[in-house]
Amino acid sequence: MKKTFLFIFTFPLFVFSQHKEIKKADTAFALEHYVESIRLFEKLVDKGVDSPNVYEKLGDANYFNANYVQAYKWYLKLSGLNYQMDGEHQYRYAQTLKSVGLNEDSKKEMESFGKKYPNEIRTNQYKKGLNDNTKMLFSNVASLAFNSKYSDYGTAIKGDTLIFASSRNFVLDNTSYARTNQAFTSLYHTVKLASGEFSTPKIFSKSSFSVYHEATAVFTKDGKTMYYSQNQLSKKSKSKLVNGLFKIYKSVSVNGKWKNEGAITFSKNDSVRIADPALSPDGKYLYFAADFKESFGKSDLFKVAIHSDGTFGEVEHLSNKINTEGRECFPFITEDNTLIFASDGYPGFGGLDLYAIDLSDPNAVVTNLGVSINSPFDDFALTINTAMNQGYFSSNRPGAKGDDDIYSFDLTYLPISMSGIVVDEITNEIIQNAIVIVLDEKGNTIATLRSDTEGKFSLNNLKRDSKYTLKIQQLDNSVVEKKIVTYKSDVNEILAIKKVVPQPEIDLNKLLVSNIIYFNTDKSFIRKDATVELDKVAAVMKQYPQIKVEIASYTDSRESKKYNLILSQNRANRTLEYLVSKGIDRMRLTAKGFGETQLVNNCKNGVKCGNAEHQLNRRSVFIVHIN
């Protein structure tokens, strides 16, 4: 009887105590004290509390601190309760599935999400699939030695100096940030030395230092004005927060010292989250991330004009061509006006990924920068040193020193592709077999192409921002020229010329710019440069099934006449076999070696000649016969 009475008496106390602990954990979560809320909620789980509220907030607290593996663990438990997640939690769950490598499960969640929310920007982007058709290639990705065990991220390049944000806790009197239990971030600088190493990081400027957050700086080209993110502080006290969230601050260099001019006031200032400033190449626009009322998601990208007197214009939303219901943040604009930014609203590899869009092209679409720089975790805050084709980005991927780390990379661009079609200038009829010679800016021939059976031609190795000349040559050797300029995207040209009809008994030299291939001394193998010409021969024979080709091969005058006759026949045979390997019927080919009987110069026996002169005689030529 006493035992029963004790149970009845203690059970309400247990329930009361549990409610109190849940309320305490909920309060910590609401205040964004995520580390503390995780500790409190996990303690409740250990005591047997099994509820959607606990699992959901454990997932969210870890997700908001970018602990995606732990977030997955709690979202998985939440889904195991047969709990109907709302759209945002289902999307977060799908993201964490990618972070733990369960890509197929992530796809299933996104398909379910898309059916529930068919009108979301994220759904439409997901249906389009991953677009990683980027022209930017990243190599030699490496974590920098100055990274700490704390959060280091968000670089700005100022000459040979890097400015970045860090929560390393040996600065002045920084207090602890309850969201992460790390120190508030401050701006540091480090100098890249001649050795390629970086100096020990130091506080960038005391005038831009507070006991709260400073991060993500950007500088004007003259280096005298800096915009950066900072917690909004009271004008009366630098240690008192106005709202605890970011604004963009401006600082100017006066006589070598930085002077803080305070928070920027825009025409609209209804947000408490304005951060991540970036400048257009001409310095006339300031880009940033914010959560204004018209934002689709947690943060969108905006821009504002900077007037000559230092004031700002109307804030412009970058619209749903770029922004989604997810997070768009950390913008950077390259010298060729490409916007690079981080987002979790597009198909990607997990967490925040890095994306790009050409702001100069109204038809451009957002592209993922690819797996060479993106990971299943957060990848963000990319900056590029255009002069060096190098840059930096931040990531919390596993395997580095700390929380967020800064990585360096080398940047190259995929070459521009050029394609086109040759047509009759009067009838617009396609022209087959037209020779298209591509010359660079110096007049050097870099490629010789031929229009195919549909009049088309293509070339895949042109340089960006370069000038080229196209010379279109037909069978009668008439030439039409066209100048082109490559920029950032592929080139497509329509070339109109007067059509010429091929005649019988033509030398293949009139179908191809070169009808000769060359061999090494005393060798009969097909050289790499020869395969280019032989492929053209094969292409012409496929386009004109009525033609047959006679292969005549020769040697220089060195060695005996008998030996040279055998060597030339081997060369002719090798040439024939190569064409057969390319799909040409053997019955359409004849091959004969003529030894040293038809020298093209005076390098005969007894005459001293250099190798370049002898080379002209070590050749195969082609004569076309039309039935």
Query: Do 488 and 521 fall into the same domain?
Result: no
In the 3-class helix/strand/coil scheme, how is 321-389 assigned residue by residue? Answer: CCCCCCEEEEEEECCCCEEEEEECCCCCCCCCEEEEEECCCCCCCCEECCCCCCCCCCEEEEEEECCCC
The answer as to whether 488 is a domain residue is yes
Q: Flag whether pLDDT at 287 surpasses 90.
A: yes
Instruction: Report which residue type is found at 572.
Output: A
The CA dihedral of 19, 21, 27, 28, to the nearest 10 degrees, is -160
The answer as to whether 5 is a domain residue is no
Residues 6+ apart with CB under 8 A from 91: 110, 113, 122, 326
pLDDT at 238: 63
pLDDT tens digits along 418-460: 888 888 777 788 887 778 888 888 888 888 888 888 888 888 8
**Residues 195, 164: contact at Cβ < 8 Å?**
no
Neighbours of 118 (CB within 10 A): 10
Tell me which residue of 331, 428, 402 sits closest to 144, measured CA to CA. Answer: 402
The answer as to whether 291 is a domain residue is yes
Query: Do 425 and 531 fall into the same domain?
Result: no
pLDDT at 511: 56
Helices (H) and strands (E) in the chain, counts: 10, 33
Query: Do 105 and 140 fall into the same domain?
Result: no
| Residue 499 pLDDT class (50, 70, 90 cuts) | low
Would strands 589-593 and 467-473 be described as parallel, antiparallel, or unpaired? unpaired
Query: Do 168 and 289 fall into the same domain?
Result: yes
pLDDT at 413: 86
Query: Do 320 and 196 fall into the same domain?
Result: yes
| More confident call, 491 vs 121 | 121
Query: Do 212 and 324 fall into the same domain?
Result: yes
Q: Flag whether pLDDT at 243 surpasses 50.
A: yes
Give the whole-number percent of the chain exceeding pLDDT 90. 50
Q: Flag whether pLDDT at 2 surpasses 60.
A: no
pLDDT at 11: 47
Give the whole-number percent of the chain exceeding pLDDT 70. 87
Return the sign of the alpha-carbon dihedral for residues 358, 364, 370, 376. Answer: positive
Query: Do 479 and 614 fall into the same domain?
Result: no
CATH number for the domain that contains residue 220: 2.120.10.30
Query: Do 420 and 406 fall into the same domain?
Result: no
The answer as to whether 75 is a domain residue is yes
Query: Do 537 and 570 fall into the same domain?
Result: yes
Query: Do 263 and 379 fall into the same domain?
Result: yes
End-to-end CA distance of the chain: 116
pLDDT at 3: 42
pLDDT at 4: 42
Tell me which residue of 412, 536, 436, 428 sits closest to 491, measured CA to CA. Answer: 436
The answer as to whether 12 is a domain residue is no
In the 3-class helix/strand/coil scheme, how is 450-465 assigned residue by residue? Answer: ECCCCCEEEEEEECCC
Q: Flag whether pLDDT at 12 surpasses 90.
A: no
Q: Flag whether pLDDT at 290 surpasses 80.
A: yes
Cα 272 to Cα 78: distance, rounded to the nearest angstrom: 31
| More confident call, 57 vs 14 | 57
The residue out of 91, 118, 145 marking a domain boundary is 118
The residue out of 397, 413, 429 marking a domain boundary is 413
| Residue 400 pLDDT class (50, 70, 90 cuts) | confident
pLDDT tens digits along 599-610: 888 898 888 888
Cα 352 to Cα 324: distance, rounded to the nearest angstrom: 13
pLDDT at 270: 62
pLDDT tens digits along 150-189: 999 999 999 999 999 999 875 555 567 888 888 889 999 9
**Residues 506, 475: contact at Cβ < 8 Å?**
yes
The answer as to whether 128 is a domain residue is no
CATH number for the domain that contains residue 440: 2.60.40.10
In degrees, to the nearest 5, what angle opens at C-alpha 184 toward C-alphas 181 and 186?
145
Mean pLDDT of 308-316: 91
pLDDT at 565: 93
Query: Do 181 and 328 fall into the same domain?
Result: yes
pLDDT tens digits along 193-233: 988 899 999 999 888 778 888 999 999 999 999 999 988 77
The answer as to whether 468 is a domain residue is yes
**Residues 436, 450: contact at Cβ < 8 Å?**
yes
Enclosing domain of residue 51: 21-118
Which of 17-21, 257-261, 500-504 is most confident?
A: 257-261
The answer as to whether 317 is a domain residue is yes
CATH number for the domain that contains residue 44: 1.25.40.10
Query: Do 228 and 205 fall into the same domain?
Result: yes
Mean pLDDT (the chain) is: 86
Query: What are the backbone angles phi and psi of residue 60, rounded to the nearest 5°?
Result: -65, -45
The residue out of 473, 497, 521 marking a domain boundary is 497
